[in-house]
Chains A and B, each alone.
Chain A
Amino acid sequence: MPLPTLSSKPVERRLLRDVVYERLYQAIIDGTLEPGEVLLDDTLTSWLGVSRTPIREALMRLSEIGLVEFSPNRYTRVAPIDLRAIDEAVYTTGLLNEYAARTAVADLTDEQISRLREFSSQAVKLGETDDVPGLANALHDFFLEFELATHNKALVAAIESLNPQLLRYVSAWQLPVEPRVIAASVEQIAEAVATRDGERVADLIRALYAPAKALFLSEYRRSDAEIDSEAREDESA
Chain B
Amino acid sequence: MRDEVFVRLLDAIVSGELEPGEQLHDAEIEKWAGASRTPVREALNQLASSGLVEVLPQSKTRVAPIDVQQVLSLVEMLHALFRGVVLDVVPLLTPGDVKELRAFEKDFAKAKRPGEFIREAVMRGRFLTVFVRRLDNRTIVRLSTRHAPSVRRAIKASSTQIDRDVVTDVLHKVVESCASGDASGASDAIGRYFVEILTPFVQGSETDKDQPAQQEKPAQREKAAKQEKPAQSEQKGQR
List A residues at the B interface (Cβ < 8 Å): 6-7, 10-11, 53, 56-57, 60-61, 64, 66, 84-85, 88-89, 91-92, 94-96, 98-100, 150, 152-155, 158, 161-162, 165, 213, 216, 221-222, 224, 227-228, 231
Contact = CB atoms under 8 A, between A and B. Distances in A.
- Dominant SS among interface residues on chain A: helix
Q: Which 9 A-B pairs have the closest CB atoms?
A: A95-B84, A99-B80, A10-B57, A88-B139, A154-B73, A154-B77, A154-B74, A152-B73, A155-B77
B83 A99 contact: yes
Given A85-B139, A158-B81, 10 more contacts: A64-B146, A92-B81, A92-B137, A92-B143, A95-B81, A153-B73, A154-B77, A222-B136, A224-B94, A228-B94
B46 interface: yes
A99 B84 contact: yes
Contacts of A10: 57-59
Contacts of B146: 64
Interface of B: 41-42, 45-46, 49, 57-59, 70, 73-74, 76-77, 79-81, 83-85, 88, 94, 96, 133-140, 142-143, 146-147
Contacts of B136: 221-222, 227
Contacts of A88: 137-140
B134 A98 contact: no
Contacts of B81: 92, 95-96, 99, 158
Contacts of A222: 136
Contacts of A153: 70, 73
A94 B41 CA distance: 37
A92 B77 contact: no
Contacts of B46: 60
Contacts of A158: 77, 81, 143
A165 B58 CA distance: 35
A60 B42 contact: yes
Nearest to A209: B84
A57 B49 CA distance: 10
Nearest to A155: B77
Contact of A231 (B49, B83, B133): B133
